[in-house]
Amino acid sequence: MARRDYKHRAARRKKRQPVPVWIWLLVGYLAGAASVGFLWVKFAQEPEGGEWIGAPPRQAGKNPAVAKKAPPKKPVQPPSFDFYNLLPDQEVVVPEEELNRPEPPPAAAREKPRDTAPASPPRKYMLQVSSVRSAREADALKAKLAFLGLQAQVSKATIKGVTWYRVRLGPYSSKSAMQQARKRLAASGYSALPIALK
């Protein structure tokens, strides 16, 4: 019998399995998390200023009895800004008689006399709802006013060495807008002190 010649075929290579989708998702997630972490560390800044109210936070792993004393720091000179002294002088409590007086008609409706002094800028008004000693109490009142649809501001003031937190609404550009907010407060059981800004 004659021997048959068969064509020599190369051995079949095993096909590689494609990488599962979940691995690609995991790699993408890790790369994104690393990018966000890098940007967070690079660009995150601590808020400037700020003052702790209450006890300072404890740092993990540090025992105050074991901690070394830091060298004394040079006293920091507070910046000398004049507006701390000027701003309290620019607030005027509005008497009830002036609040009940109707506003004059707009300047366009009135006749303009020829020889007049330049018109004074329009007054702005604020409503002081409360003045409390606790920042937490002031923030709680601010939240209650927000539920009434009124946007309040909390400002810190130190008077004769005592810190007060003022809860205020405004500024309002007209007496009528201020009166409307005052009526809304009164309907909810709050009283407010009207203040005219110079």
Cβ-contact 136, 112 below 8 angstroms = no
Distance CA 132, CA 130 (A): 6
At residue 186, φ and ψ (nearest 5 deg) are: -60, -35
User: Can you give the pLDDT at residue 136?
Assistant: 93
Integer Cα distance of 20 and 88 in angstroms? 69
> In angstroms, rounded to a whole number, what is the distance separating the alpha carbons of residues 23 and 50?
45
The C-alpha atoms of residue 175 and residue 164 are separated, in whole angstroms, by 26
pLDDT digits (tens, 9 = 90+) for 58-97: 555 555 555 556 666 666 666 566 666 666 666 667 777 7
* Torsional sign, CA 178, 180, 181, 187: positive
CB 138 within 8 A of CB 152: no
Name the pLDDT band for 112 (thresholds 50, 70, 90).
Answer: low
pLDDT in tens, 147-172: 888 889 999 988 888 999 999 998 88
Terminal Cα-to-Cα distance of the chain (whole angstroms): 122
Mean pLDDT of 121-150: 89
| List of domains in the chain | 85-98+122-197 (3.30.70.1070)
